[in-house]
Structure 1
Amino acid sequence: MDILNRRRFIQVGSLASAAMLMPKFLKALERGELVPPGNKVLVIVQLSGGNDGLNTIIPYRNDIYYRSRPVLGIKRTDALSLNDDLGIHPALKGLKALYDDGSLGILNNVGYPNPDRSHFRSMDIWHTASQSNELWSDGWIGRYLDAQCKGCDKPTQALEIDDTLSLALKGEYSKGLALTDPNRLLGTSSNPFFKDLLKQHPQEADEHHNVDYLYKTMGETISSAAYISQQFKVYQSKENYPNTDLGKNMRTIANLIMSDINTKVYYVSHGSFDTHVNQQAQQERLFQQLSDAITVFTQDLKKNNRFQDVVVMTFSEFGRRVSQNASGGTDHGTANNMFLIGGGLQRKGVLNDGPDLMNLQDGDLKYNIDFKSVYATLLGKWLGADDGGILKARYNHLDFV
């Protein structure tokens, strides 16, 4: 690559860094191509760092739980009762209210074969939906975008409300878009420097495909930003969202859902839940933020008749060890629980048995639901996609939707 092309590469690449996006799947749609009301939406909330599932859904009648956690165990009188055997963390009052009105489903003992206790490796497995002995470079939502946008009259879209794009949203041909503020994204992409640079783009030979890719990225980014910003103005929530990162991000998602933008998947992260030390205060604070944000978000959807069309799914890369450690926390474990929230759930409440603390493996919980079955259910039954093709294997569908 000659000096001129190096300079172009750096200049064009700076837009992707400044705007914090990974486009290609997203471009301005022609008038009349917006999806009609009733569009099914999936909102994924990643509980980063490995949330402690045993103190999330609490087996408060199990003596082994309290012997294993003499300090960390949530008292029976503090837990919010779900049924005779299980309660929910007292900071999750908003989720308990959703449980009571039939809008919450809880899956216990979710994991995968041969679990990995590394944050990075286990998160990659959850992001790609690979087996633990496979290394994949594309994510499950990214492959969904690849499949849905191939030969269709309009792209299927996914947005991550964050500064960077997660592996889950990166496909081989299509990628999601990461942004924190649609208006800031538009302001950055509207800089005259980038538009002038785009006009000057020469038709390079094939050996300069990296430069060509970045120019294409820049062009799609500019048109995508304008489209998202336009849709973002359609609805501005009047609900009092909490002034936390998660609260602000859920408000952004609600505004876009109510605009009927052609977006099927939203992705947001919350944490860190890596509670090796002083777990009680950290988990309680994060749960309070989660509960407050989800409560207002679901109220917003209900008031605007969109709750039936949205499923919120939470996950974490692994749970924690059954026994507390010497530092007032818990170390990396395996199987965990997941929350499913929405007005269109076919089954609600506690969907399967709680953890079996008498049948552990090396001090860890054994999984009995493969998380890829949850993905397959949401892809096939909620989003109407070919889950087997996207996940590269067939997994049993569950009956929560």
Structure 2
Amino acid sequence: MKRRDFLKQSVFASGMTLIPSFLKGMEFLSPQQLSGYKNVIIIQLSGGNDGLNSIIPISNDIYHNLRPSIAKKQTQTLKITNDLAFNDNLKVIKELYDQGQVSIINNVGYPNPNRSHFRSTDIWQTASDTNQYLHTGWIGRYLDSNCQNPYQAVEVDNSLSLAMKGNQMNGIAVSDPNQLYKTTREPFFKNIVANTTKEMLDEDNQGYLYKTMLETYSSASYIHETSKIYTTTTEYPQHHFAKNLKTIADFIISGLKTRVYYSSLGGFDSHVNQLNSQDRLLKVYSEAIGALVSDLKKNNRFNDTLILTFSEFGRRVKQNGSRGTDHGAANNVTAISGSLKKAGIYNELPDLSNLDDNGDIKYTVDFRSIYATILNNWLEVDSHDVLNSDFKNLEFI
């Protein structure tokens, strides 16, 4: 591998630039310390998941009239109440719901919603107002104000989301500790380690990268070994999203001192032929969550874990001409845990008779209230320090 090729690889410019601090400070909690050590897993369904076809207002005539081709039939759902049902591809989520381990928060959004994937994702990840452009994420600011080490927020991916970036400290991105070990054993890597000078480390443009390589090389063997502390016997589905959740479970059960984990599942931008694509993705999501929860329960970590699932926006209530839906606004958010204070349907269902001017669901819950609740009640820190404002505390945890 040549130097210029190495510098071009985005994995080192994004995720691996943050790995060394994680490796140097890798600490684990003993089994005695694990009890009560709470963490949260944030999952983004990227692309804009259609909440109305996920958690379905099955008895609502407006829903059926506006979606003549894509509305779910009763035989394609799992009953919650006479008025509400799960998509039948969310079987595992329904089982957890019946056990009192799911809270469904409806009509989540923000004022003056933006319907661009990129901008709305930025808004959710930075916890900004619509007309406010921030360069730090809400989890990154949590690190800045409350944490000592970058590894206290981990994104299981090859690159780091804006949500994880702070002013003084960023979270870390790592998808495969074993691959990290193999990469650092390449001849080019060894040569850089052997020949790096102080002048190279002080260089403005590339000094951080040399420092990253030195620290990563010295720590890769350690992470390679410590990642084997817990080997799951739980069977996970054979797809990338499930693999990411398995990695998160391994870290949690091994006792890694991480408080926030982040992962995503993409493909939810359902403008065309929505039914098949969304149903397939919801099944992927549900089955992976099922394996994760089973793993955590077997190891007595489920009660200390909160799994929050969101999408950057919902979909338009009325279907389009391509048997799909266009970008919408407010959506539902689900919280899964063994320690919920209010499980079930948290608040009122979407009012399909009172849509906004674009034909989208109006928000009644600001998404930042969910963040504030997690920060205040679960992570037990001051949400104002992170969100730079006060938002209503909810009662699901």
Common fold by TM > 0.5: yes
- RMSD value, Cα: 2.4
**Cα 1:253/1:356, change in 2 over 3 Å:** same
Q: 2:26–2:151: 8 Å Cα contact kept in structure 1?
A: no
Q: 2: distance between equivalents of 1:275 and 1:370? A: 24
The structure 2 residue matched to 1:93, chosen from 91, 94, 119, is 91
Q: 2:143–2:166: 8 Å Cα contact kept in structure 1?
A: yes
Q: 1:320–1:332: 8 Å Cα contact kept in structure 2?
A: yes
Relative to the length of structure 1, the TM-score reads 0.91
SS of 1:135's partner is: coil
- Give the letter for the 2:198 counterpart: Q
Q: 1:104–1:340: 8 Å Cα contact kept in structure 2?
A: yes
SS of 1:221's partner is: helix
1:262-311 deviation digits (Å, cap 9, x = unpaired): 11111111121000000000011001111111111101111110001111
The structure 1 residue matched to 2:34, chosen from 33, 37, 58, is 37
Q: 1: distance between equivalents of 2:21 and 2:372? A: 22
- Give the letter for the 1:366 counterpart: K
**Cα 1:219/1:147, change in 2 over 3 Å:** farther
How many aligned residue pairs are there?
Answer: 392
Give the stretch that moved more between structures: 58-67 or 92-101. 58-67
| Structure 2 runs not aligned, ≥5 long | none
Mapping of residues 2-401 of structure 1, within 5 Å? 17=12, 20-23=15-18, 26-29=22-25, 36-38=33-35, 39-149=37-147, 152=148, 157-191=152-186, 193-204=188-199, 208-222=203-217, 225-362=220-357, 363-401=359-397
Give the stretch that moved more between structures: 29-38 or 118-127. 29-38
Deviation at 1:194, TM superposition (A): 2.7
Q: 2:50–2:315: 8 Å Cα contact kept in structure 1?
A: yes
Q: 2:29–2:256: 8 Å Cα contact kept in structure 1?
A: no
Q: 1:9–1:214: 8 Å Cα contact kept in structure 2?
A: no
| Structure 1 runs not aligned, ≥5 long | 1-6
Q: 2: distance between equivalents of 1:354 and 1:106? A: 10
Q: 2: distance between equivalents of 1:263 and 1:224? A: 18
- Give the letter for the 1:161 counterpart: V
- Give the letter for the 2:305 counterpart: V
Q: 1: distance between equivalents of 2:192 and 2:258? A: 29
Aligned sequence identity (%): 48
Q: 2:151–2:172: 8 Å Cα contact kept in structure 1?
A: no
Q: 1:19–1:185: 8 Å Cα contact kept in structure 2?
A: no
Deviation at 1:48, TM superposition (A): 0.5
Give the stretch that moved more between structures: 184-193 or 342-351. 184-193
**Cα 1:102/1:31, change in 2 over 3 Å:** closer
Q: 2: distance between equivalents of 1:171 and 1:68? A: 43
SS of 1:307's partner is: coil
Q: 2: distance between equivalents of 1:389 and 1:240? A: 40
Q: 2:103–2:344: 8 Å Cα contact kept in structure 1?
A: yes
Give the stretch that moved more between structures: 386-395 or 318-327. 386-395
